[in-house]
Amino acid sequence: MPALILFVGALVLPETPSSLVERGHVERGRHILKRLRGTEDVDAELSDIRTAVAAASAIKNEWTAIFKRRYSPQLVISILVPCFQQWTGINAIMCVRCVCATCMTRRFTAVRCELAREFAWHV
């Protein structure tokens, strides 16, 4: 039953403005953005979306980048933690993954990572 609800919900969701802009449908993206925001003044946000789409399309071989050595800790955690979560059935492990990935990605100091980890456990 939950899968059916998700399926029906996915059918009625509008396309994202960024997806429409990426495919060249800027005016449809503007229309959806106006409908989502409830205002006619969406030019600044649409400009940001166009800039982000242009920057994203300039990147070549984005999937091969995750296999570089500098991203190997994040890749290992992203693969192993869900496996351990399924194996043990403990959903709290997924929270630790988010905190660890954030610490490694932003290269926090050990103190900040410890604070982030403590905060995550108490939320």
Query: Each residue's pLDDT tens digit in the chain (123 positions)?
Result: 788 898 998 888 888 999 999 999 999 999 999 998 999 999 999 999 999 999 988 877 777 888 889 889 989 998 998 888 888 876 665 666 566 656 555 554 554 555 555 545 444
Kindly list the domain boundaries of the chain, sorted by start residue.
14-59, 65-122
This prediction's pTM: 0.50
Of the candidates 88, 123, 120, the one whose C-alpha atom is nearest the C-alpha of residue 103 is 120
Contact criterion met (CB below 8 Å) for 120 and 95: yes
49-79 as b/e: b if 16+ CB within 10 A:
bbeebeeeeeeeeeeeeeeeeeeeeeeebee
Q: How far apart are CA 35 and CA 43, in angstroms?
A: 13
Contact criterion met (CB below 8 Å) for 30 and 42: yes
Contact criterion met (CB below 8 Å) for 96 and 81: yes
**Residue 5 is encoded by which pair of tokens?**
């609800």
